[in-house]
A and B are shown apart, each in its own frame.
Chain A
Amino acid sequence: MSRKTAGLAAAAILAAAAAWTAAGPPRRWDSALARPVILRYADHLHAAYADATDRAAALREEIRAFVRRPSLEGLESCKAAWVRARPAYLETEIARFSGGPIDRSPDGPETFINAWPVDESYIDSVDGRPFSGIINDPAGFPSIDEAALRRAHGAGGETHVTTGWHAIEFLLWGQDRSPGPGGGARPFTEFADRGTLPNAPRRRAYLELCADLLVRDLSWVRDQWAPVRPGNYRETFLSLPVEEALSRILTGVGTMAVGELRGERLAAPFTLKDKEEEHSCFSDTTHLDHLHNALGVRRVWEIGVGELARRIDPRLAADVARALEDAIEALRSPDLEPFDQAILGEDDRPGRRAILRALGALDRFNRAFSRLADRLGLPVTTRLP
């Protein structure tokens, strides 16, 4: 590493010393091998965010049609569009934790896009609190507009979420009140004038605005990765020293697979056995979240990181790939649907066995991946030792 840069890079440089002493000096490798991989990663992210933006835009179209004329069919179309749109975003999450536009400080929009957990009562009425939430507070929020929602987001703590995937999910499906399987069951009449809940016009406006903001935030990230836009993140990224760009790529991928997916999204619900641990609890699609996070990791491996790894250490590369495939296979298990039921009971139940397989595979992934980073001489923190 020849020069210091701001942010994560500085931390990366400091951590490098530790990585080098832990693993000995890295095997010599030709950094020219990495250039094409870095370029393909940037192209991949541009395409992945473009896909996520397009699908969010399709969701917005359904929502616009629905709020103009609320109907049962309209609400079902919106839900279907949400389920279709979400995987594309989940596969981009490997770009978090790496100093990129999605979550860089201070302007990264990640929190507006995918904040979780959501305090539903901050947005709308919930069981037993019919007048709670921004939607039912015309005095506090005379106008439901972008400035109001951005300002209120996180204002009273991390769970005061106003926007993003899970806010839209809550508005479309409603609270998950079922003790057993099944997500929320909000009737479309809660959006209809003279329907079943007060403040329907505000509820419609809120939903449409959330869809707008989601598209706007995603397209901003997409443009940061777009080719030939002077001053955007892609330009910065491609001008980084090779080791540093690669270290950012691996830190994002590793943190997503290990800290986020293994730790927060699988281990915590597995340990607590609590329905509330489900990320997409309103729609009951959490199993798809996990699967597409893992598939996002595989995409980065396929676009060249895997090939680079094979050149450095074919056996380690094979270990990483095998562990990842095992995790994906475990996450495809039909026993994981719905996830809030899969986590219940004893460890010999099919759902918990599948989660244990995924946890074990991701542990193997973590070990092999960390060794690989050491071999490359790159400082990579995956949030788990």
Chain B
Amino acid sequence: MRYGPTALAILLAGCGPSAERFSGGAGTVFDVSENAFGFPLATLEPSRREAFFAGNSLFRANWVIAPASAAGRDGLGPLFNAASCSACHFKDGRGRAPEPGEPFVGLLLRIGARDGAPHPVYGDQIQTHAVPGVPPEAVPAVSYEDVPGRYGDGTPYSLRRPVYRLERPGYGPLEEDGLRVSPRLAPAVIGMGLLEAIPERRILERADPGDADGDGISGRPNRATDLRTGRSALGRFGWKAGRPTVEEQVAAAFQGDMGVTSPLFPRENHTSAQRAPAGLPSGGEPEIDGEKLGFVTLYVRLLAVPGRRAPDDPRVRRGRRHFEAACASCHTPRWETGDVPGFPELSRQTIFPYTDLLLHDMGRDLEDGRPEFEAEGREWRTPPLWGIGLADRVGGGRASYLHDGRARTPAEAILWHGGEGASAREYFRALPASEREALLAFLRDL
């Protein structure tokens, strides 16, 4: 069951724009510098200060090749995409898509067969770096094709469609028939604990897998096995909602992206068919221990969301009305978090993340053809939009958008919406320039 537009309007009417100033609940921070994503929740429990800053330090730290004098952080590789979390999540913000000829930093490539099965030799992700003596899996390259279009008023625009190549494969044939490549841009890591705290049943209430209400929007939950409990759980994190908890998302990134094993993922990220990486020194078993993984997880859970700057600005308010009309059925504005035992700063907060955490068919143009648990090739999880107005500032003026960063601006991201998002795209395309600008001003205020 999902709320129709009328119900939504009533829902929103209860809290005017001013109430939305606190995007991330009581712990919202008000900083608009390039450090805007780096603050703990303003309500952080004092007893957690040390752990938060320990996590902050490990998030920035470069992991090194084992064995090393820095025994606390060795175990990088043998295969890896980056040596630190912050390499891709620069200042806790999002990655940027590479320009042609640039190395891939902050954008990684998942691979697999059409049925989602990993490649028998290369596994499920292309690691672009390796320790000395070990070949990297491949050197990815991107080029972009221009895709011209016009707004309803005739104003032309130009989008770019990425085309990926995997050059210099290190372990034999790679780009065989049927190999699917799924690019994934590093997202900003703010507000993750709050998203984790939304009760599962509330999210499921909004799901409409068969589009029973006939509004053209399905909204399907992804499900995965929670590695801690062994039980099936709602997937919330990642571009296809493949991970149910922040801890798992963090540990999966340590393993898949940095080659650092942890209690949750005790195996290295290469397959048994890759002989060169096997048999190298390990940085311990596991390479990041439970305590340190806990610090990083806590850090990511408690990073605050920046507040709105000018929700009462007339243009921003106009943009908000367009957003409600066209976008809010998937980018759900408002949620209440549940009770998180031991974490009052995450519990019972009214938050404005602008996501339903569900999967939606986004059309052929965005299809990767590679399923992930319940998610099909055209399905992507609605990404949260909070903080999106500061993405450029945090990212040094060069943020990119969508799962592969093909969109250079939020407007381009809207124009790529297809499938269930097509009606929102058409709504935006048909607006007069001043109203398009109002919608974008609203997004910039998030």
Complex formed: what's the CA distance from A180 to B190 in Å? 38
Is the C-beta of B278 less than 8 angstroms from some C-beta in chain A?
no
29 contacts between A and B (CB under 8 A): A10-B310, A11-B32, A14-B21, A97-B33, A117-B60, A128-B65, A154-B396, A156-B105, A157-B86, A157-B105, A158-B86, A158-B87, A159-B62, A176-B69, A177-B69, A264-B57, A267-B53, A268-B54, A268-B56, A271-B50, A271-B53, A272-B57, A275-B69, A276-B61, A276-B72, A384-B49, A385-B40, A385-B41, A385-B42
1/0 per residue, CB under 8 A from A, across B25-66: the answer is 000011111110001111110100111111011101110010
Cβ-neighbour of B53 out of A18, A106, A159, A264 (below 8 A)? A264
Q: Is the CB of A263 within 8 A of B53?
A: yes
Complex formed: what's the CA distance from A264 to B58 in Å? 11
List B contacts of A7 (CB < 8 A): 32-33
List B contacts of A154 (CB < 8 A): 90, 396
Is the C-beta of A12 less than 8 angstroms from some C-beta in chain B?
yes
Cβ-neighbour of A272 out of B44, B72, B90 (below 8 A)? B72
Question: Given that A267-B53, A271-B295 are contacting pairs, would A381 and B84 also be in contact in the complex, using a CB cutoff of 8 Å?
Answer: no
List A contacts of B396 (CB < 8 A): 106, 154
Question: Given that A15-B30, A156-B87, A267-B49 are contacting pairs, would A272 and B54 also be in contact in the complex, using a CB cutoff of 8 Å?
Answer: yes
List B contacts of A275 (CB < 8 A): 69-70, 72
List A contacts of B35 (CB < 8 A): 97
List A contacts of B181 (CB < 8 A): none
Is the C-beta of A230 less than 8 angstroms from some C-beta in chain B?
no
CB-CB nearest in chain B for A99? B33
Those 9 A-B pairs whose CB atoms lie nearest each other, nearest first: A157-B87, A271-B54, A268-B57, A274-B72, A15-B30, A11-B30, A268-B53, A263-B53, A267-B53
CB-CB nearest in chain B for A379? B30
Q: Is the CB of A179 within 8 A of B69?
A: yes
Complex formed: what's the CA distance from A384 to B44 in Å? 8
Shortest distance from the beta carbon of B35 to any chain A beta carbon, whole Å: 7
Is the C-beta of B348 less than 8 angstroms from some C-beta in chain A?
no
List A contacts of B87 (CB < 8 A): 156-160
For this complex, into which size category does the number of interface residues on chain A fall? Answer: 35 or more
CB-CB nearest in chain A for B310? A10
List A contacts of B61 (CB < 8 A): 117, 159, 276
Complex formed: what's the CA distance from A282 to B103 in Å? 30
Complex formed: what's the CA distance from A177 to B64 in Å? 14
Query: What's the tally of chain B residues with a CB closer than 8 Å to chain A?
Result: 52
Is the C-beta of B217 less than 8 angstroms from some C-beta in chain A?
no
Is the C-beta of A2 less than 8 angstroms from some C-beta in chain B?
no
Q: Quick one: which of B39, B88, B308 has the most chain A CB within 10 A? A: B39
Cβ-neighbour of B397 out of A10, A106, A268, A379 (below 8 A)? A106
Question: Given that A8-B32, A157-B88 are contacting pairs, would A385 and B60 also be in contact in the complex, using a CB cutoff of 8 Å?
Answer: no
List A contacts of B160 (CB < 8 A): none
Q: Is the CB of A105 within 8 A of B33?
A: yes
List B contacts of A267 (CB < 8 A): 49-50, 53-54
Shortest distance from the beta carbon of A384 to any chain B beta carbon, whole Å: 6
1/0 per residue, CB under 8 A from B, across A300-330: the answer is 0000000000000000000000000000000
Q: Is the CB of A157 within 8 A of B30?
A: no
Shortest distance from the beta carbon of A304 to any chain B beta carbon, whole Å: 25
Q: Is the CB of B46 within 8 A of A272?
A: no
Shortest distance from the beta carbon of A207 to any chain B beta carbon, whole Å: 22
Q: Is the CB of B57 within 8 A of A277?
A: yes
Is the C-beta of B114 less than 8 angstroms from some C-beta in chain A?
no
Q: Quick one: which of A8, A117, A160, A272 has the most chain B CB within 10 A? A: A272
Q: Is the CB of B90 within 8 A of A385?
A: no
Q: Is the CB of A105 within 8 A of B34?
A: yes
Is the C-beta of A129 less than 8 angstroms from some C-beta in chain B?
yes
CB-CB nearest in chain B for A276? B70
Question: Given that A119-B83, A268-B57 are contacting pairs, would A158 and B90 also be in contact in the complex, using a CB cutoff of 8 Å?
Answer: yes
Q: Is the CB of B57 within 8 A of A157?
A: no
Is the C-beta of A229 less than 8 angstroms from some C-beta in chain B?
no
Chain A contacts with B in 268-293, Cβ cutoff 8 A: 268-277
Is the C-beta of A374 less than 8 angstroms from some C-beta in chain B?
no
Complex formed: what's the CA distance from A9 to B54 in Å? 30
Q: Is the CB of B84 within 8 A of A159?
A: yes
Q: Is the CB of B30 within 8 A of A12?
A: yes
Q: Quick one: which of A11, A157, A160 has the most chain B CB within 10 A? A: A157
CB-CB nearest in chain A for B132? A129
Given contacts A159-B62, A272-B58, 7 further A-B contacts (CB under 8 A): A156-B87, A262-B49, A264-B53, A268-B57, A270-B50, A272-B72, A274-B72
